[in-house]
Amino acid sequence: MSRPHQYIALVSSLPHLGKLFSRKDVPISGFRLKQRLSMLEPAHASLLREMVEVTAWAGVAGFDRDIDVIRRANKVLADLQAYPDLQHLVGARMETRTLIAALRRRRDGQESAADIENWGLGRWCNQIRANWNDPAFGLGHFMPWVGEAHRLMLAGDHIAMERLVLTQVFDQLGHYGNLHEFDFEAVAIYVLRWVIVERWSRYNEADARARLETLVAAALAGKTDAGGLAGRQDLFSDFTSALEGAFS
């Protein structure tokens, strides 16, 4: 089967994911998805693995410092040169994470974003640095969700915050997904959306609360690596990957 036809078959074999939060389970299991993705060209499978690695918590957890993740993300962005929409998508995901990290750092008492180049990536770094004390970092006029996230974070409503961010990212993926139907980009966007749906299907409020308490306790206990760990989680805590090992 030639590549266009192969990708038509692959995309058609993937079930519709539906709306976010509309179902409790994923329409296709990780195992089945892995089987279907074996139809990908080897080069595309490698690119997809890289994309998932920088966008999923399980992937970035292997890095010790935020700066390493940023370097990795820059490499992925360079590797995606032939796929501008995916490049924009990964860039937008990193920017969203940078904004969330900034909100969390500000809530935790950080007084400025002077060192943002060490933990943030994308177009908004200077904007965040210049508008550190603005609730939405001066971006509220065209990204209203930032102000809403700030409000939810101050209110301590972590679940609503998670929903808001997941919705934002899901919509972002949907926007680019509308531009592609039967190509590699369509498959990659499907997988990234699947990761979000799968993440939400496994979401457990009690577990999330326990994890948060563990992190807070570790930070208060003054563990040497707690600051670094908290910093990483600030930036990359919105997704876990159920595709761990899926591409190996």
Q: Which residues of 24-53 are buried (b: 16+ CB within 10 A; e: fewer)?
A: eebebebeebeebbebbeeebbebbbbbbb
Which of 41, 68 has the CB closer to other proteins? 41
Minimum distance from residue 184 beta carbon to other proteins (Å)? 15
Stated length of the chain: 248
Which of 13, 126 has the CB closer to other proteins? 13
Minimum distance from residue 7 beta carbon to other proteins (Å)? 8
Minimum distance from residue 21 beta carbon to other proteins (Å)? 18
Which of 182, 247 has the CB closer to other proteins? 182
Cα separation, 150 vs 139, in Å, equals 12
- Judge contact between 239 and 191, C-beta under 8 A: no
Give the residues lining the site for other proteins (CB under 8 A). Answer: 1, 4-6, 8-16, 28, 36, 181-182
The rounded Cα 163 to chain-centroid distance in angstroms is 13
- Judge contact between 54 and 73, C-beta under 8 A: yes
Minimum distance from residue 9 beta carbon to other proteins (Å)? 4
Which of 106, 180 has the CB closer to other proteins? 180
